[in-house]
Structure 1
Amino acid sequence: MMLGLAYPDIGPVAFEIGPFVIRWYALAYIVGLLLAWRYCRWLTSKPPKQVEAVAFDDFLLWATFGVIIGGRLGYVLFYKPVYFLWNPAEILIIWQGGMSFHGGLLGVIAAMYLFTRRNGIKFLALTDIVACAAPIGLLLGRLANFVNGELYGRPTDSPIGMVFPQDPTQLPRHPSQLYEAGLEGLVLLVVLFLMVQASALNRGGLLSGVFLAGYALSRIIVEFFREPDDHLGFLFAGATMGQLLSLPMMLFGIGLAIWSLRQTRPVPRDGSTG
């Protein structure tokens, strides 16, 4: 077996002042939401300018509740429904981890729908901007998973394998959290940014569709390197829960992107708009 990389055992606690403890996981959520908020405000300056920057000052709170409530309920329903049925009080203990991206996504979509209805904003105009900023939170969240030594990958004899302290087998494993941070976070962030520079905000729903399909494809790929949840293992046809949840997401994203491209009216040659 080849010698792998040393795991930087940083620990789950970022800092503590007396009884006040801040964990990397919580810090990732806080910083991710704040950076995404500032990025969304910047994106409102890009044509067609259908959403005012000030709207995101209010939506930040809506998004926070959507992520936390949706993410936790998604984990409860998708990953451990029987356990939480018998231990309902533990649903509220979110500081010990246990969040689902797919649940958080549904929570944010619900928040966006209610927010746009209340404020008279076009739904796809908001989702496109939020989709561009979402990879920021994904990047930081996966880095926090890595620091916590959780959601690690499958055993490997490759030179990039790491031994995670929390792993009872103490086998070198893929640092799949970093794979996810790279694909779902950094790569998707850059792709969507380049699309914004190419005026993709003018095509309602295109960026949202690319984000959904891009995340789903990235998650499906990384799941081949990530250790499945102990209590679930491999499911239908050897797929993991993450892959099964991502498949319809990818199909819907591709469909939304195609629909958006077909809905776009070409600009007349004389530059006028109708």
Structure 2
Amino acid sequence: MTDLLTLIALPMAAGGLPFPEFSPALVSIDFGFVGLGTFHLRWYALAYIAGIMLAWQYATALINRPAMFGGTSPATKDDLDDIMFWIILGIILGGRFGYVLFYMVPYQQDVIAANPLSVLKIWDGGMSFHGGLIGVTLAIAMIARRRKLSLLPLGDIAGVVAPIGIMFGRLANFINAELYGRKTDSALGVIFPEGYVPGSTPSAYDWVAKQWVYTGHEFARHPSQLYEAVLEGLLPVVVASLLIWKFGALKKPGLIAGLFLLMYGTGRSVVENFRLPDSFASNLPFGLTMGMILSAPMWIGGAWLVWNALKPKPLHSPD
């Protein structure tokens, strides 16, 4: 365990708050006696599970109230179960292949060339939210077409429940001491461990010694994961829920889906100014980051969905 005096002295010297040194795993079970090594039940995996389960429950509560959609629910329980299965695949496959497409192909071709199978190593890290969003969108569209369901109301349900998973995921990023922010003199700055442990994921955690590793040269950094948890997760789900439960927003198909895209795109673009960009993608023009660029289509799509939902509908004269 890291010496207590070091834990106190390092943050004070660096001028920031100490990092709460949770283990990246809730529990670790040694199966070495049967040749399987150690199994780590990581907070990141639990975040995915909790986010999906809560989203499922919230979506079920919505479809069980057809009046909220104007009288007819857009899906049955069986439809929702089918959709959730494909959404999970969309999150995993879309998230990984999005990372490969947006980050590895442009910037890490040497890694792919050295080991083409690295594109499949999801356990080594590397998931793109925007890729996962594409995967989820394709999954919902496929099920809507297969089961002859209306696409926009399903998108609205996804728009209010998705931020739950995003919030949990960003909290797990914080616990993992990953995706942290740029240097800061702010009172909110946190001293994240930045040591490197070969073969360890996260790289600053020593699984053998069971402790975080510091170099002694850390700086206070923005806890950008927490900023994202609020702006990309908590705020969108609160705003969307208020509009749904108090103002009947689900009666305007596409409105909640569009607002989610706009709020996420805005929140992500704001936080990118505080988040430390990937070293291999840090020299983009005009001070942009990859997160900002990938969020631009969300602004466009979200604005169109909101406009389409709010525009006056033509009156049909009787025959």
Q: Is 1:92 matched with 2:120?
A: yes
Q: Alpha-carbon deviation of 1:83?
A: 4.3
Partner of 1:65: 89
Partner of 1:153: 181
Partner of 1:143: 171
Partner of 1:76: 100
2:298 maps to which of 249, 263, 268: 249
State how many pairs are aligned: 266
* Paired residue secondary structure (2:167): helix
Moved more, 193-202 or 11-20: 11-20
Partner of 2:235: 187
Q: Alpha-carbon deviation of 1:189?
A: 0.6
Q: Is 1:31 matched with 2:50?
A: yes
Structure 2 letter corresponding to 1:59: I
Q: Which runs of 5+ in 1 are unaligned?
A: 267-274
1:55 maps to which of 79, 86, 92: 79
Q: Alpha-carbon deviation of 1:2?
A: 7.6
Q: Is the contact made by 2:14 and 2:219 (CA closer than 8 Å) also made in structure 1?
A: no
* Paired residue secondary structure (1:99): coil
Partner of 2:159: 131
**Structure 1 vs Structure 2 CA RMSD:** 1.7
Aligned ranges 1:204-219 → 2 under 5 Å: 204-219=253-268
Structure 1 residues 83 and 69 mapped into 2: Cα distance closer, same or farther (>3 Å)? farther
Provide the C-alpha distance between the structure 2 equivalents of 1:173 and 1:233, rounded to a whole number of angstroms.
Answer: 17
Q: Which runs of 5+ in 2 are unaligned?
A: 1-12, 31-37, 196-214
Q: Please say which structure displays the higher CA radius of gyration.
A: 2
* Paired residue secondary structure (2:279): coil
* Paired residue secondary structure (2:19): coil
Q: Alpha-carbon deviation of 1:84?
A: 5.0
Q: Alpha-carbon deviation of 1:45?
A: 2.6
Report the TM-score when normalising by structure 2.
0.80
Moved more, 151-160 or 91-100: 91-100
Partner of 2:9: none
Partner of 1:232: 281
1:117 maps to which of 145, 150, 162: 145
Q: Is the contact made by 1:203 and 1:264 (CA closer than 8 Å) also made in structure 2?
A: no
Provide the C-alpha distance between the structure 1 equivalents of 2:182 and 2:23, rounded to a whole number of angstroms.
Answer: 21
2:221 maps to which of 166, 173, 193: 173
Provide the C-alpha distance between the structure 2 equivalents of 1:166 and 1:96, rounded to a whole number of angstroms.
Answer: 18
Q: Alpha-carbon deviation of 1:92?
A: 1.8
Structure 1 letter corresponding to 2:140: M
Q: Describe the superposition over 1:118-151 as per-residue Cα deviations: whole angstroms up to 9, x where unpaired.
A: 1111111111101110000100000010000000
Q: Is 1:10 matched with 2:36?
A: no
Structure 1 letter corresponding to 2:231: L
Q: Describe the superposition over 1:224-262 as per-residue Cα deviations: whole angstroms up to 9, x where unpaired.
A: 000010111031211000001112211220121011111
Q: Describe the superposition over 1:10-45 as per-residue Cα deviations: whole angstroms up to 9, x where unpaired.
A: 122121222332111111111111111111111113
Q: Alpha-carbon deviation of 1:72?
A: 0.3
Partner of 1:269: none
Partner of 1:221: 270
Moved more, 41-50 or 164-173: 164-173
Provide the C-alpha distance between the structure 2 equivalents of 1:159 and 1:45, rounded to a whole number of angstroms.
Answer: 46
Provide the C-alpha distance between the structure 2 equivalents of 1:191 and 1:199, rounded to a whole number of angstroms.
Answer: 13
1:104 maps to which of 89, 113, 132: 132
Q: Is the contact made by 1:206 and 1:261 (CA closer than 8 Å) also made in structure 2?
A: yes
Structure 1 residues 54 and 135 mapped into 2: Cα distance closer, same or farther (>3 Å)? same
Q: Is the contact made by 2:90 and 2:136 (CA closer than 8 Å) also made in structure 1?
A: yes
